[in-house]
Copies of this chain bind each other. A is one copy, B any other.
Amino acid sequence: MRQTFDEATDPTFGPKHAPLIRRAMADQALDGFLIPHEDEHQNEYLPAANDRLAWATGFTGSAGAAVILKDRAAIFVDGRYTLQVRDQVDAGLFEIRDLVEGGVPAYLQEAAKPGWTIGYDARLHSPESLERLRTAAAKAGAELKPVAENPLDAAWGQARPAQPRAPVVPHPIQYAGEDSASKRARVGASLADRDADAAVLTAPASIAWLFNIRGGDVIRSPLPLGQAVLNADGTARLFLDPAKVTPDLPAWLGNQVTLESPDALPAALAELKGRRVLIDPAQSSAWYFEALKEAGAEIRKDADPCALPRACKNPIEIEGARRAHARDGAALSRFLHWAATEAQASLPDEVEIVSRLESFREATGALKDLSFDTIAGAASNGAIVHYRPTTRLNKRTERGSLLLVDSGAQYLDGTTDVTRTIAMGEPSREMAERFTLVLKGHLALARVRFPTGTTGSALDALARTPLWAAGLDFDHGTGHGVGSYLGVHEGPQRISKLPNTVALRPGMIVSNEPGYYKEGAYGIRIENLQFVTEPADVPGGERPMMAFETLTLAPMDRRLIAVDMLSAEERTQMDAYHARVLAVVGPQVAADVAAWLEGACAPL
């Protein structure tokens, strides 16, 4: 098993570790210290060695922050995590506050005292967030000060896990579709448009994409932690821990790329004196900005120049994604067959469900990793959007309720992410009605055509209007970008209520995952991945339109579809999707599964 069900922390973490941190703060004459969730690489999923917030507080959510002052402390989480934080953190030690409303700045302004010095690790904060924190501290008469050594790291000491040193390997051209020299030439040439002649790259996904390499430093993503300096002429310096460099790597990188130790990075930045250097403040911490400023570089704050080309998959990557989804769809269909038959009688618990699904994926022989820990939410656990099953929280499925399974796989040829909601026993009419509202939104977003320049924000409402009409909604985004054997959450595109100014472009992969959650009862989510295509013009059409092609191939539970609520168009669309699932998955599965699949994919 790849997935584990242990809890990495418990509420004693705060009481055990905060005193150690305070002692290390005192050694540096600090009256407080800032602990963001982010690590040195702005990763979403953190290596254990960098999960400082979890070690200091016990909180393991994907966003948050803490402040430890000498006389009090607070933890900051957003609306998704208000229940989880109470479960994981000692609220007697850490005051629980809202990350968004007021957040850390308001706390500093209120809790810091005149003359205090509050430390921060410049490698962990974006320059913008630091500016807000500095202003807030100043209002209280306190000062922010960068530390030379992180006092939390000092307190963690020997107990801290080692930095990950997973081997970095070539990502072959039959998967990447474009060689690194071509990518470097293309991205290098684009720097001129942004008035730059070099770029500092720190996002692991950009390093992986640009050099066609993959690593394993971060769980669930084949990311190599590292940095690079790319020049306008396509030459580059790549900084990777020598312990991670595999024998084939130098030849693979070629003679336009020098491979160096991260120890050489500060000197490399110093050499950028007088050059116009692009760096992304959303991806790179204040430390880089300080280093470049000191070096005398002309800083150009702009989006990571790899982000957009990385998001627009080339034909080889799309072909790979189709293969990966056909394979993954077969594994998932085997699982859905099990869930629709044996599991209906045995009513398994979440741990068993996760294990079964993993074993079907493992059996493909191509699984490199899960793309995230599988979410299996039985009954009321399905209504907790950021739920992960653990031994402690594990719940059995219940007859007459729903099971929500959100999972994905990393294959060399593509990354998958799919959610299916399964009826256990006989679903109620309410469950079917609400599933069907979610489905109507999902189908609308799958079939829409849209012109050049359309953003994901403009399309978000299409997935919600059927729910809105019924007085319902869901509190998460509708779609995120997905990498090609890279991160399962990847920008810059996004389908969301939040404003996003990045237009959708051919080759971009996005998820389409509306949901509905009835607290304490059940959760519904339907998620397929789809990519942006340029379809043939319709007769009489005057403008080229873009559209989506669905990648994910697995049946939806027809027992949850209230057919009377579907329009003729929606029914045709659903039947066509199921016919495609049957055609692609059917030939890959054994006779008993194929027989079941035929029924599962029959016209509604």
Check if A457 is an interface residue, CB within 8 A of chain B: yes
Q: Mark A451-483, 1 if CB is under 8 A from B, else 0.
A: 101110111111001001111110000000000
Contact segment of A180-188, A280-288, A533-541: A533-541
Check if A542 is an interface residue, CB within 8 A of chain B: yes
Check if A501 is an interface residue, CB within 8 A of chain B: yes
Question: For residue A571, which residues in chain B have a CB less than 8 angstroms away from its CB?
Answer: none
Query: B543 contacts A453, CB within 8 Å?
Result: no
Check if A156 is an interface residue, CB within 8 A of chain B: no
Query: A465 contacts B453, CB within 8 Å?
Result: no
How many Å lie between the Cα of A472 and that of B455 in the bound state? 17
Question: For residue A455, which residues in chain B have a CB less than 8 angstroms away from its CB?
Answer: 499
The distance from the CB of A517 to the nearest CB of chain B, in whole angstroms, is 10
Query: B497 contacts A538, CB within 8 Å?
Result: no
Question: For residue A497, which residues in chain B have a CB less than 8 angstroms away from its CB?
Answer: 453-454, 458
Partner pick for A471 among B468, B473, B538, CB 8 A cutoff: B538
How many Å lie between the Cα of A541 and that of B434 in the bound state? 11
How many Å lie between the Cα of A567 and that of B568 in the bound state? 10
Query: B545 contacts A471, CB within 8 Å?
Result: yes
A-side binding surface: helix, strand, loop or mixed?
Answer: loop
How many Å lie between the Cα of A450 and that of B460 in the bound state? 12
Query: B449 contacts A468, CB within 8 Å?
Result: yes
Check if A106 is an interface residue, CB within 8 A of chain B: no
Query: A540 contacts B470, CB within 8 Å?
Result: yes
Partner pick for A461 among B458, B499, B540, B544, CB 8 A cutoff: B458
Given contacts A458-B461, A462-B461, is CB(A450)–CB(B471) below 8 Å?
no
Question: For residue A542, which residues in chain B have a CB less than 8 angstroms away from its CB?
Answer: 471-472
Query: B567 contacts A471, CB within 8 Å?
Result: no
Q: Which of chain B's residues has its CB closest to A538's CB?
A: B471
Question: For residue A450, which residues in chain B have a CB less than 8 angstroms away from its CB?
Answer: 461, 465, 468
The distance from the CB of A140 to the nearest CB of chain B, in whole angstroms, is 16
Query: B462 contacts A459, CB within 8 Å?
Result: no
Check if A448 is an interface residue, CB within 8 A of chain B: yes
How many Å lie between the Cα of A462 and that of B430 in the bound state? 27
Q: Which of chain B's residues has its CB closest to A539's CB?
A: B471
Question: For residue A448, which residues in chain B have a CB less than 8 angstroms away from its CB?
Answer: 461, 465, 468-469
How many Å lie between the Cα of A501 and that of B501 in the bound state? 12
How many Å lie between the Cα of A567 and that of B469 in the bound state? 17
The distance from the CB of A498 to the nearest CB of chain B, in whole angstroms, is 9
Question: For residue A459, which residues in chain B have a CB less than 8 angstroms away from its CB?
Answer: 461
Which residues from 349 to 386 on chain A have a C-beta closer than 8 Å to any C-beta of chain B?
A: none
The distance from the CB of A450 to the nearest CB of chain B, in whole angstroms, is 5
How many Å lie between the Cα of A461 and that of B472 in the bound state? 20
Question: For residue A460, which residues in chain B have a CB less than 8 angstroms away from its CB?
Answer: 458
- Most chain B C-beta atoms within 10 Å of own C-beta, residue among A448, A451, A468: A468
Q: Which of chain B's residues has its CB closest to A500's CB?
A: B499
Question: For residue A538, which residues in chain B have a CB less than 8 angstroms away from its CB?
Answer: 469-471
Given contacts A462-B465, A472-B542, 15 further A-B contacts (CB under 8 A): A449-B469, A449-B471, A450-B461, A450-B465, A454-B461, A454-B497, A457-B458, A458-B460, A462-B462, A470-B541, A471-B541, A471-B543, A471-B545, A473-B543, A499-B501
11 A-B contact pairs sorted by A residue (CB < 8 Å)? A449-B469, A449-B471, A454-B497, A457-B457, A457-B499, A458-B458, A468-B545, A469-B538, A470-B540, A470-B541, A471-B545
